[in-house]
Structure formats: C-alpha cells, structure tokens
A and B are shown apart, each in its own frame.
Chain A
C-alpha cells in the first residue's frame, strides 16, 4: 500500500521544471484578493435580487429576498469560490480549505460561477427576447461574476505547459474557430495541478471520529447534490447545475481537497463504504417521487451491467459488442419463471432468489457457449463476432414465436404482465409506509437492485484483486507474455466472459420485473433507449475502464443527461459519439482514473513522462527494448 513517507519524498523530489506562475491582469496581490472577494460578495448579493420581470423563464427568478432556480447555482458557485479563496489566501484557520496552496482552484471555481451566471443571463435574453428582460439583479450578477473572475485572473496562477502537443495542433489551427477552442482547451488544461504540487497534509492527524464525521458530511452533501440535480425540472436549470458541478469538481481537485478525501476514505475503507451504502439506501427516502426512484433503479441496472462489462472490457481487454444479450438472457429467464400468464410455463413461479440464480446461470451458460468458439479470436475479430452474436440473440428471440420457430418467447410481443416480486411477504409492487416515508414500487425495486449492485461491486473488487484478476489484466496488457508466464489464456478469458455474462444476467432478472415485461427490441447493439451494447460500452469507457465507480458513474451520466436535456432526444446517439471522441482524445483513462494510474505519484518527475496525458504518450515498454 502507498506509504505516506515515500509520497512525501516523491513530492519534495518534484522539480518544478516546466511549472511557471503567471498573472493575467497586473494588479497588486492585495488588490486582486480584494477584487475577488468583492466579486464573491456581489455575486452572492445578486442572487437575492430579481433577475427578470416575468415568471416565464424556468425557475422563478423574479423574487427579491431569496434565490431560486438558476440563481441558486450562482449562489453556490460564489460561496464555494469565496470559501476556497479564503483558504488560498491563507487566512488563519482556513488554510486547510485549499491544501494545494494554489490559486488555480479559485480560478476554476470562479470560472464555473461566471459560466453558469452568464449562461443564465444569456438564456434569459435569448428566451424572452432581449436584454431588456433583465432586472437590475441580472446585471449585478453578470458584473459581479465578471469582477470575481477578473480578480482571480489577477492572482498568481500556476501553469504547466504541454510542449509536446504543439505539433498536432498545427493542422487544426488553420480553422479560426477550431484554433480558438483548442487555445481555450489548452489554457484550461495547463491549469491542472499535478499531484506533486499538492502538499496535502496527512488527514490521519485528525481524530478518527472527526475523520468519520468528514466522510459522513461529504457523502451527505453528495446525496444532496445528486437528488437536487435529479429533481431539477427544466433543461436550463440542469445545464447550470452541470456547469457548477463540473467546475466544482475540477476546482476542488485543484485545491487538493479531493485528494485528501480520497486518502480519508482509503484510511477508513470499511467505514466509508458502509456510509456510501447508507447514502445509497437513503436515496429513495430523500425524495418521495416515483419518477426519480424509477430513474434510480434504471441507473442502478445499467450501472451494474456496465460494471459486469467492465470485467470483460476493462480488466481482460476483450471488446465485447454484444454484451447486452446477456442482460436479455437474464431478463427472459426471469420472465419465463415469473408466473406470467404469457410465459410458456405460466404455472411456474420461482421465488426471487431462485429466479435470480436461474437467470444468472442461464446467462453463464450462454456466455460459455458464445465465448468458447469466439474467444480464440483477438482484437477486432472478437469484437465483430460478439457483435454478431448479440444480434443473433435478439433475432432468435424475435422468431421463437410459434410461427417462425417454436413458441418460447412470444416473438416481438414479448412476455408481458410479469407479476411483481414478493420477498418474505413484502410485495415490491405495493406502496409501503416506513415511518413518515413512503416507499413506492420503484423505490422498492431500487432497494432490491441496490443489493444486487453491492453484490456485483463485491464480486468485481474481489475478483480483480486476486490471482485470476491479475491474469486478466496480464492478458489485457500482453497476451503473448501472459501465456508465456503460464496463464492459460483461453480459459482465463472464458472465465471473465462467463462471469461478466452471469452478472449481466443477474441484473436482467430484476430489470424484467421492474419493467413488467420483456420484449426483444431493447437488446440491440445501439439504439436510442438504454440498455444497448453501445450504451454500456460508452458507460465503461466514459467512466473509466477497470474501475468500480467509473462504469456506474458513466452509466448514470449517460442515462440522466439525455433524460434531463430533452432537446437532445433527437441527437442522442450523435451526442454519444461526440462525447466518446472527446473523452478518447482528452481523457482516455475516463472520468475516474484507474488506481494504477494514480501510481504516477511515485514517479521521479525528472525522468518519467507525465502520465496525466496517458494514451497519447503511452510508450509501451516493448518499444524500448526493440
């Protein structure tokens, strides 16, 4: 395990080298700080004023006295900026708020506040027809956030230039618009703070109960932020929300607080995972809305399936484009033994545990059947063959209707009226009152699915950190070398394939009951409605291959964002494609980087290349020896 003393050594060994400090607006330091804080105060004050005349704009921004709608985004952004700024200015007693001692975090947070506020102002002008619709409050907000941003630009800012990228932008640079975007991107990227720069104090110095209190507070805040985002009713507000949340994460990352929190959870692993589970359990209680509970259970299902796919794609490196078929196998199996009158075995009704095991086992069998002939192939060939098998599943199911083939699945009509589950007499279809809370149908299924998710997370973490998990990763890294080290490649890959399949099947059994019916159509390679194989793969890649939280986060984002941004509906696949291309180009390790990536911490910065830009400069060890 990472030893802090070695970390400290690595940090002191850091040579600032390319790092340089810049100031974009020439102001004395104290004036810059004052301007920043004044901007914070003005921004906060503006949110208590009226921004527009009419209530036509989403979220009521006409009220003076308390903030509403998008004003809350500005308010939160400004408060966070102010707090982190006080930390960055080394105010006595508050320095812990910005352990990296860098103003970059303040700049990023200010940028987020500016972006969300100006987005609001422009949106008001655009939606209501002109700037005339702005109340003075709107102008105060616009000017206040601008002053805030200007103040942070006058602070000393650390930059890490990437020289190696110059060449590849030359061609792009010929287009003015593109070169502007690239310039902005590069400027933002150079604001990043490397781990070596973050002088994170050891959080273990804190009293253990204080540590735990901090963990609980962070999880509670996270749950609050999550439910708030889900409960936003307008696309506009959701966009503002996403801007603030992304810049906040970025800014907190640059401040070193995220790193510190990471270290805290690592120190209190059991405690923080139990708090995480409690927070997840609290989700349906935190909001009494069946729609959001439905969203929650859907996210859990696709997230769990994506996590299963992560074993195959992320750990073992097998590109499986037909993975959704295993979810289908699980769902169909559960439907057949559910007692539905449309099932060919309508008299058979398994208890849930038996149905879940049957579904997982059926998916396992299919996994082995499909894997055994295909896993002898490598790379692209495997991808194409799995794509084919995925489609074969759907088409076969469609034709097992008694006309084209034997009657098993009712063909395109599927198996409808799957009865709700009943576990120990607790009928998941009914509404239950627990204390003052009401758990509706979807909330019940959410809690059931959460159990499945926890099981899958456990399976994933335990499997990946073991002899078999190491052999999966070895095969991903270099299959020839792995077999030369005594790993039976075919067998180990088959185990990964079958395990991934059975986890998807397990999730499928729940999804059949949640949707009340199973039909063949959702189990396609790509479609506008998740789950489909492309969606799952995108979730894994976007979130971070080989990590636990990555695919779940990726699935959540890919599921929730289109749900929230209704104008995207037509372009959903297009947006997917763009998102994937951008992620591949700019952050190939995904939103959440693998633990292995974090080992960059150990590097001697003098010799080792920067691993943050992995993917474009991944020099395989093999080329060095050639």
Chain B
C-alpha cells in the first residue's frame, strides 16, 4: 500500500480557525423514541475521533444527522464554521464524505466507476457537454479518471479497476467504499464500522489506511466495535450510550471510565434501568 498520494487541496480549506466539525445539542427523535439525545461533538483538523457504544446506542443515527440523511430534530451541525445544509449531497459537497455500516457500493458498476461517481461533486460536466464532447469534456473526464486511479492505487485496488464492485472480496469492498468517499475530496471522513467482519490482518491494514488518510490532512470520525482498533487509532474517543454521550476523552480516560465499563459489561448504573440487556459476549471479548 502506498502511503502518499498527492492530495488536491479543497478550495474551501480554511486554516485552523476553530473546530472542523461542531455538532451541538443534536437531538433526533423518531416519534416518541429519542435516538440521539443532546449530543455535542467536535472534530478538529487532522484528528481521528472514535465513536463507540453498545448496539443501538444511536451512533449510526448520529452519523446520519451529520451527513444530512436525517435532519436533526434539534441542534445544529456546523462544518468549517458554517451550518450544514440538510441535504446529503450538499453535505458531501461541503466536504464530509462517509462510508456505510452495511456496504453500499454500486454493485453493478466497475470499481473505477464507483470511484468516478465519488468525483461527482468535484466535476461539473453536465448532459450537454457529455453530448457534445468538446475538448473540455475530454480533459475533465481524463482528469477524473487519473484522480480515481490514484485513489485506487492508494487503497491498493488499482489492479481491479475493471472488476464489478460486487465481485470484490469483502475486505476490498470496504476499501473501495473508502476510496469512493475520498474521491469527493473531503475535509472530514466518516467511517461507519470500517472493520466489521474483518480478520486481524485486514483490520490492521485498515488501520494503516486510516492513518494514511489522516496524514493527508483529512480528519476522520470513526464508529467501531473493535476496541483495540479504536484505542490504537483515535486521538479522542466519545462514548454514546442510549443516545447520550457518556464520556469523551483520550483512550486512557475512556478505558478507565467506570460508566463505560458498566455500559459494556452490563452493570446497571444509576438512573438507567434495563441496561443489563446491552451486554453481548462479543463485546466482552473485544475488551
């Protein structure tokens, strides 16, 4: 895996002026159910932030609030100082890219085409220029392809550029999702369980990939159940339990926090009855 790729600076990139992403007081209700309850989270430039919590804690819902798939019932999310628009495609345009917990590639498109779709926001060619095919169109298309191939090199998928996405093995599908997300030239990358179902070697490779992404100046916010992965990777970790943020801090702080251990291991802590059901054997192993 190559660790350097020329990163094209995003035009809107602002030098350190406050946090990159700031979510404040985000509440997401579905009818009577409050899935995310008053969560604040900041991500600074060049940071890798982890988001952990038992199943059903609201991590993915929170992600969806950040990316415009859901419009938060209350609270604001701002990116680079301006409030994010409530449409997913505008969020991507603003510079937040994401992957999905259940891989959502364009299964019947080739690997290269998947990445090219990721380039959508950074290219302009509309229907007319596609029909006329002037020199400008060919230039833009060639540039897009070149950039997409760079990203495939970066993720180690270049040799499979012509394969259908759905024919890739599982681990490579995960990598392709990251490559596709990177193609939109994001300032912040949201990864939703990037190592789910991976073996230790693949997890290790993903870890390196995430570091390499960070080294290009892209901040990363990652949801994961694999604690070793999270604590190796993250500068800061936030713990979400029952839609609320329990703790936030460095790996050490989170690892030693009794409430976190309780949330995972099942000792009910005061005021929240019924937490015992959250425990699963799998997560015990992860600790």
Taking Cβ atoms with an 8 Å cutoff, the residues of A that contact B are 2, 458-459, 462-463, 466-471, 473-474, 477-478, 480-489, 495, 499, 594, 596, 599-600, 602-603, 607-608, 618-626
Contact = CB atoms under 8 A, between A and B. Distances in A.
A459 B174 CA distance: 35
Contact of B167 (A471, A474, A495, A608): A608
Contacts of B116: 467, 470
Contact of B92 (A477, A486, A623, A624): A486
B121 A626 contact: no
Chain A CB within 10 A, most for which of B89, B116, B123, B163? B89
Contact of B93 (A486, A489, A626): A486
A469 B89 contact: no
B102 interface: yes
A478 B130 contact: no
B107 A625 contact: no
A463 B117 contact: no
Given A485-B184, A599-B163, A470 B109 contact: yes
A603 B105 contact: no
A462 B102 contact: no
Interface residues of B, number: 52
B105 A459 contact: no
A477 B89 contact: no
A277 B216 CA distance: 51
B197 interface: yes
B6 interface: no
Contacts of B104: 478, 480-481, 484, 621-622
Given A473-B108, A477-B109, A625 B173 contact: yes
Contact of A624 (B67, B103, B137, B141): B103
Say what secondary structure dominates the interface of chain A: helix
B196 A471 contact: no
8 contacts: A468-B127, A478-B107, A481-B100, A482-B106, A485-B181, A602-B164, A625-B197, A626-B102
Contact of B121 (A486, A600, A602, A623): A486
A568 to B, nearest CB: 35
Interface string B104-131: 1111111001001111110101110011
Among A478, A603, A622, the most chain B Cβ lie within 10 Å of the Cβ of A622
Contacts of B180: 485
Contact of A484 (B98, B101, B127, B166): B98
B113 to A, nearest CB: 6
A56 to B, nearest CB: 54
B141 A466 contact: yes
Given A462-B130, A487-B120, A621 B92 contact: no
Contact of B117 (A485, A594, A618): A485
A607 B103 contact: no
Interface in B51-104: 67, 69, 87-89, 92-93, 97-98, 100-104
B103 A621 contact: yes
Given A477-B106, A480-B69, A621 B117 contact: no
Contacts of A474: 106, 109, 117
A216 to B, nearest CB: 28
Contacts of A623: 102
A484 B163 contact: no
